[in-house]
Amino acid sequence: MLDADSLIPAGPLRRPLVVLAVLLGEYMVISYLFDAQPLLAKPGIAAGIAHLGTAAPLLLVVATATLVVGGRRVLAELGSILSSHGRPHAPVAMAVIHAASFPLVLYLTGLVTHPSARLRTELVGAWMLSATTMLLSAVFIAVPWHAVGSIARSLWRPLSAGLIAGVLAFLAGLFSAELWGLLSEWTMHLVAFLLARFSDRLVFVPEEAIVGTETFYVLISPECSGYEGIGLITVFLSAYLWVERRNLVFPRAYLLLPLAITAVWIGNAVRIVLLIGVGIWMSPGVALGGFHSKAGWLLFCAIGLGAVAVARRTGYFAAEPQKTSSPELTAPHAQPTENERGDTEGWPARKRPRRLDNPTATYLMPLLVLLATKLITGLFVVDFDAPYPLGVITVAVTLFVNRKALPRPSWPPSWHAPAVGLLLYPVWLWASPDPGASAADAAAALRQGLSEMNTGERVGWLAFRVTGSCITVPIAEELAFRGYLLRRLIAPNFEEVDFKRWTPVAVLGSSLAFGALHQAYVAGMIAGLAFAIAQRARGRLSDAIVAHMVVNALIATDVLVRDSYYLWG
């Protein structure tokens, strides 16, 4: 079994990877809060700003392609360069600059992307300057400024190859939509065939790309058809075949390309059928909302990962199929003890269930389960998060199953942990953004959803919402951010790091990452620092959890008493 600790290498690469994770979180916050599409209808600089939205996905594709093409050689070379150049200069000062510039970027982005905004030169200049400051401060947290030239000189070949592969993959994803004209008739007939298995009220106009039933049908446009997945899967699998050419059996391995492309094509047809089914039997708003926007990416990720797994683990494609575990990747303490093997005198030992302990999974699994549940239920949510109780249940089950491996709570509880929560509550209200249009819409949707429930359903949903906010979410988040990430930024063997130990990078990095998980970024970052303080006072993770529970309980009380549902946004 792959030890998740190996995903975050020790030494000089740890800091750049953490900074990259923070930048990805900040990008997700910005992309979630703001939409530049309305600016496309405006002339001049407004349309140019709208097209900048393409830059971030392109950079992500290029970075992924660089890792696919260069593999571990890129990481090894980068680690060697960073080791030879020492630590970055003034990383704490750069972290403070970054933490201050991000909320400024959020504020100015809101002004720039507002449909009625007048894009004056001063406003656009301030926005670009703040964004540049945010990015450069992140770079200089990760690497010394004098190492940038060495990195460029040493890695220009894999970086160039990654740039070419990434741009080709991105362009292939865009231009593969042209395949819709070639394959549309086959796809529409496949969709109609599958729909006919479930309904005899079929609406099918292939020449206009209309398919569905009398109660709900859709018009499939090329840009929404999902065919960009064909271009992406073609380029990435081609790069994978080249990188792993010594570990794969050719020409058999070439079959992965048509198999994956066929899987994307069939999967896209199934996606359309499911979308129509959701619109018919659940809600048109859900079908055209969360499901429509997320199902395609989930499909592509599943097919891409599945193709690589098949290539690595089957004897037909791989020269030496990889096993699910290996001595190098299995945790050292997972080896059988003397009692498990048998005693020293040859008598058979009592049989015990074999369990491979993974400390990283112990601390991260509850949060990952919560995020995965929200991702899946988000496919079927438009405005009101009716499936919220599922997240509470899945996290509670995860905590219960793993209860013996979790750190023990301290007793009696300290007085300072609730005090931190009490003091943080007004700070959270102050640091949270005023309820603007989007927050007001979310609060209105929540009220509307609750009003459509009967009394029992409403009480049950609110009970789960309060339970999740005050119990399961604080435990899951504190295990991940204070229990794991803060200590993992101090040392690779994080379990041996005392909860009282601090470093500036660890505290700021974990707090920035915690803030990126919340829509109220500044409030989340401040809360992360406060919970770290609560933990350090006695060296107990349970104190951070209690402080988190107290502030969330006060917020929940505010929501229920003052009807301030925007705080649950």
pLDDT tier, 40 (very low <50, low <70, confident <90, very high otherwise): low
Q: Are 273 and 194 in contact (CB under 8 A)?
A: yes
pLDDT attached to residue 344: 35
Report the distance separating Cα 552 and Cα 421, nearest Å: 8
- How confident is the model at residue 54, as a pLDDT? 57
Average pLDDT on 503-522 reads 83
The reported pLDDT for the residue numbered 339 is 40
Short-list 298, 439, 444, CA closest to 379: 298
Note the pLDDT of residue 287. Answer: 59
Q: Of 102-116, 135-149, 344-358, 390-404, which gets the smallest average pLDDT? A: 344-358
Q: What is the mean pLDDT of residues 9-17?
A: 68
Taking Cα atoms as reference points, which of 376, 225, 388, 379 lies closest to residue 290?
379
pLDDT band, residue 173 (cuts 50/70/90):
low
Range among 34-43, 244-253, 333-342, 495-504 rated most confident: 495-504
**Is residue 520 scored above 90 in pLDDT?**
no
Among 51-65, 141-155, 506-520, 538-552, the range of highest mean pLDDT: 538-552
Q: What is the pLDDT of residue 241?
A: 80
Beta-carbon contacts of 380 under 8 Å, excluding residues fewer than 6 positions away, are 278, 282, 283, 286, 290, 291, 387
Judged against a pLDDT cut of 50, whether residue 321 lies above it is answered with yes
The per-residue pLDDT for 552 is 93
* Cα–Cα distance list, 488 to 8, 10, 12, 19, 313 (Å): 9, 9, 13, 14, 31
* Per-residue pLDDT, 545: 94
Confidence category of residue 278, pLDDT binned at 50, 70, 90: confident
pLDDT, tens digit (0-9, with 9 covering 90-100), for 76-92: 777 777 777 777 777 77
Q: Is 120 helix (H, G, I), strand (E, B) or coil?
A: coil
Arithmetic mean of pLDDT over the chain: 75
Please report which confidence band the pLDDT of residue 277 belongs to, taking 50, 70 and 90 as the band edges. confident
Q: How confident is the model at residue 530 (pLDDT cuts 50, 70, 90)?
A: very high
pLDDT digits (tens, 9 = 90+) for 462-511: 999 999 999 999 999 999 999 998 998 888 888 889 998 888 888 888 88
Q: Write phi, then psi, for 227 (nearest 5 degrees).
A: -75, -10
Indicate whether 5 pLDDT > 50: no
- Report, as an integer, the average pLDDT of 515-533: 86
Whole-number Å distance between alpha carbons of 317 and 477: 41
Distance CA 292, CA 300 (A): 14
The stretches of 41-88 forming alpha helices (DSSP H) are 45-51, 55-70, 72-85
Report the alpha-carbon distance of residue 433 to residue 521 in Å, rounded: 9
pTM recorded for the entire structure: 0.50
pLDDT at 68: 58
pLDDT grade for 153, boundaries at 50, 70 and 90: confident
Gyration radius of the chain's alpha carbons: 26
pLDDT for the residue 471: 94
AA identity, residue 422: L
> Do 249 and 185 meet the contact criterion of CB atoms below 8 Å apart?
no
- Predicted confidence band at 541 (pLDDT cuts at 50, 70, 90)? very high
Residue 161 pLDDT > 90, yes or no?
Answer: no
Q: CA angle 108-114-117, nearest 5°?
A: 90
**3 state DSSP class of 225:** coil
340 confidence band (pLDDT: 50, 70, 90): very low
> Quick one: average pLDDT of 45-62?
62
Instruction: Specify the length of the chain in residues.
Output: 569
Going 123 to 125 to 127 to 130, the CA torsion angle's sign is: negative
What are the Cα distances from residue 222, in Å, to 174, 204, 226, 233?
Answer: 10, 17, 8, 18
Least confident of 38-52, 263-277, 356-370, 507-521: 38-52
CA distance 514 to 428: 14
Across residues 149-157, what is the average pLDDT? 71
pLDDT level of residue 182 (50, 70, 90 thresholds): low
Least confident of 80-84, 308-312, 432-436, 503-507: 432-436
CA distance 255 to 246: 16
Positions of E strands within 325-472: none
**Of 361 and 331, the one with more pLDDT:** 361
Domain boundaries in the chain? 4-154, 182-313, 373-568
Model confidence at 288, in pLDDT bands (50, 70, 90)? Answer: low
Tens digits of residue pLDDT in 108-138: 887 777 766 666 777 778 888 888 888 888 8
Q: Has residue 547 got a pLDDT over 90?
A: yes
Number of continuous H segments (helices) and E segments (strands) in the chain: 24, 3
- Percentage above 70 pLDDT, the chain: 69
- Give 65 or 438, the one with higher predicted confidence: 65
**List of residues 6+ apart from 80 with CB closer than 8 A:** none
Give the model's pLDDT for residue 225: 59
Compute φ and ψ for 197, nearest 5 degrees: -70, -20
Q: What is the full DSSP assignment across 554-568?
A: HHHHHHHHH--GGGG
pLDDT the model gives residue 542: 92
- Span 274-294, mean pLDDT? 66
User: Which pair of structure tokens corresponds to residue 485?
Assistant: 């990430």
Instruction: Round to whole Å and give the CA distance between 120 and 244.
Output: 51
| Residue whose C-alpha is closest to residue 210's, from 201, 202, 177 | 202
Name the packing angle between helices 228-243 and 292-313 (round to 10°).
20
Average pLDDT over residues 300-310: 75
Q: Read off the pLDDT of each residue in 297-304 and give the average, rounded to a whole number.
A: 70
Q: Which of 116-130, 339-353, 378-392 has the lowest mean pLDDT?
A: 339-353
